[in-house]
Amino acid sequence: MRRLILASSSPYRRQLLEKLRIPFECQAPRIDEQPLPGEPASELASRLATEKALALANDHPDALIIGSDQVAECNGTLLGKPGNTENAIDQLSRSAGQTVNFHTGLCLADARDGSHHTLCEIFSVRFRPLSASEIRRYVELEKPLDCAGSFKSEGLGIALFEKMEGSDPNSLVGLPLIRLIDLLKRYDISPLQ
């Protein structure tokens, strides 16, 4: 089987990819993750996923490289990783009672020939109306400071939602596994082989 590299330092993406029981390595790419002026969320997520995968291609010329990036968007505003408690509280306060769309870019790059396949999976979350004390308590308990949108759906974050819509709940955590399996099949890699 071809060497498979996940271009990420995210423990969440690593845990998701481990579900497939396919051998892989992780390496953090170094790219500028700033959005371009006026860049829509889906284009940003796709561009960053592609840049992450291609950033490692020269160092691993025989590998297949997976890049992924997620951008949350609420009412036209991009929501990044909050980084601190006050930003997390602010993001969740703006999301309360609203629908937040999570755009997860996915790229599988073939370092042998430089080709790559990129897509963007969208997953929508409708937040419950939340009180200031509920939001503060959630942030204190789960500390979602390194998560786009300031929550962890795989944990207590589920208590923040009214409704979730999308084809792959893994994309909400940061790696759309259903679509990744489709891309890997192009290279005769399957978790069931």
CA distance 112 to 91: 41
| Annotated catalytic residue 69 | yes
CA distance 116 to 183: 10
CA distance 17 to 192: 14
DSSP-derived secondary structure letter, 174: T
Which one from 32, 59, 62, 69 is the annotated catalytic residue? 69
Q: What are the residue ranges of helices labelled H in 19-100?
A: 41-55, 85-95
CA distance 127 to 185: 35
Catalytic positions, please? 69
